[in-house]
Amino acid sequence: MNKPQRQLAREMHATAVVGALPTVMAVGVGHGDDLRLLLERFLISIVAMTGASAGAVRVVTDDGKKMRLAGHLGLPEHVVKAEQLVQRDCGICGLASGRDMLAWMDDMGSCAQHSQQAYFGVQCRRVLVISLTHGQQVLGIYNLFFSEHVELSAETETMLRLIGQMLGLALHNAQLERERLRATVMKERQEMAGEVHDVIAQTLAYVKMRLPLLNAAMLAHDDISSIKYLTDVKTAIGEVHHNLREVMTYFRARMDPMGLMHALNGIASGFFDRTGIQLEVRSSVQNLELSDEQEIQVFHIVQEALANTAKHSMARYAVVAIDKTASGLEFVIEDDGLGMAAPSVSTIVTMAKEMTASTHFGLEIMRGRAQRLGGVVEVSTNEGGGTRVRLVIPSGVLSSTLRQ
C-alpha cells in the first residue's frame, strides 16, 4: 500500500472511530475499570488510525498537581512504570494539561529523564499531545508516540481533537460518578451515626443510669429493687441487641428498589411463617407521592411496629392500611392482640407491663423517624382490643418532596 492509500485508509478509520464515539459515550462509565477499558479501547483505534507505535492517556489528579497514567498501549514496561505519576508542569504535556491544544514534540529530553532505559529519542522520535477537555476545563491529555518523523493531515488532527473532547466528556462523567459515590458514602456514614445514636446510645444511657441503682439495691440487700433494676437492665440490653441487628440489616439491605409497596408486600408474604400472625397489606392510594428517602423512613416505621406486634402482642391477625385523608397520607398498623391496657389475668398483666417497657425505645425510634419525615406517630389501643400505630404524613410535606 503506497503512502496516499495508507493516508486514505487512516482517514476512513478516523471517520469510523468518531462515528462510534456517541454510542460508546451513551453507555456511560460505572467505575475505574470501565474508564480504563474505555480509554484503552480508543487508544487501539487511535494508534491504528494514525500509524503511531504507542499511546497513553493521562488524567489530572484530584489535587491538580500531577498527572496519572490512566490507560496505555504499546509502551515498554519500564516506561509504563516510570510514567505512572508525573508532575503536571512536565514539558509540553504540562502545557496541554493547562489549556486546550494539540501540539507536536520532537525534543525527547524531558521525557527521557523519567526512565533509566532508552526509549525516548531511540524507539520514540516524535510525540503528539492532545488535551482532553470538557467545557473550559482540561481533565487530562493523551499522547501518541511515533517511531519516525510523521505528519498528519489537518483533517486527522481535527478528528483527534474531537476525540479528545469526547474522551474529556467521559472523564467528566467518571468524575461526577466518583463525587456521587463519595457523597453517598458520606450520607450513609452520617445516617449510620444517627441511627446508632437514636437506637443504641439512648438505651445505653438508660442502662448507665440503672446500674448505680442496681448496685445500691444489692448493697442494701433489697432483693425486690435489685430484681426490678436487673430486669430493667436486661430488657434494655435486649433492646440494644435487637436495634443493633436492625441497624446492620438496614445498612446491608437498603430499601427495596421496586418501592415501598413491594417491600411491604414482601414482609406480608412471609410474616405468618415467621410469627404465626396473619398480616394483610391494603392500600386505597394509587400513587404514594413519596421520595426515596421518605419511603425508607416509612418502611422502617412500619417494620418496627410489626416487630413489636410479633414480639409482644400475642395477636392472630394484623393489618397495614394505607389511605389518603384530609390530614395527609396515613399508614395504620393494627393488631388484635393484648393492646396497651392490662387485662385482668395476672400473668397477662405482667406480660403487658413488660411489653410497655421493652417497646418504649422502639416507639421513640418510630417517633424520631416520623419527625424526620415531617409527620407524626400515634400509638393507642383499639376499642375491641389490640394496638394501633398511626403514622400521618401531612399533604404539604408530600407535595414539596415529589420525585423529579
Answer whether residue 398 shows pLDDT above 70.
Answer: no
pLDDT confidence tier of residue 317, bands split at 50, 70 and 90:
very high
Q: Which residues pair with 235 in a beta bridge?
A: none
> With b meaning 16 or more CB within 10 Å and e meaning fewer, what string describes 123-157?
ebbbbbbbbbbbeeebbbbbbbbbeeeeebeeebb
Answer whether residue 259 shows pLDDT above 80.
Answer: yes
Answer whether residue 350 shows pLDDT above 70.
Answer: no
The residues, any chain, with a CB within 8 Å of residue 21's CB and separated by 6 or more, are: 162, 163, 166
Helix 223-252, helix 154-196: angle, nearest 10: 170
Contact 120, 143 (CB under 8 A): no
Higher pLDDT, 295 or 352: 295
Higher pLDDT, 197 or 138: 138
Give the global pTM: 0.48
Residue 404 has what pLDDT? 36
Would you kindly state where each structural domain of the chain is located, as residue ranges? 3-180, 256-404
Per-residue pLDDT tens over the stretch 363-395:
777 888 888 888 999 998 887 788 999 999 998
Contact 262, 221 (CB under 8 A): no
The sign one gets for the Cα dihedral 298, 302, 305, 311 is negative
pLDDT confidence tier of residue 43, bands split at 50, 70 and 90:
confident
3-180 homologous superfamily = GAF domain (3.30.450.40)
Per-residue pLDDT tens over the stretch 220-246:
999 999 999 999 899 888 878 877 776
256-404 homologous superfamily = Histidine kinase-like ATPase, C-terminal domain (3.30.565.10)
Residue 114 has what pLDDT? 73
Instruction: Report strand pairing: 328-335 vs 376-381.
Output: unpaired
Q: Which residues pair with 319 in a beta bridge?
A: 280, 334
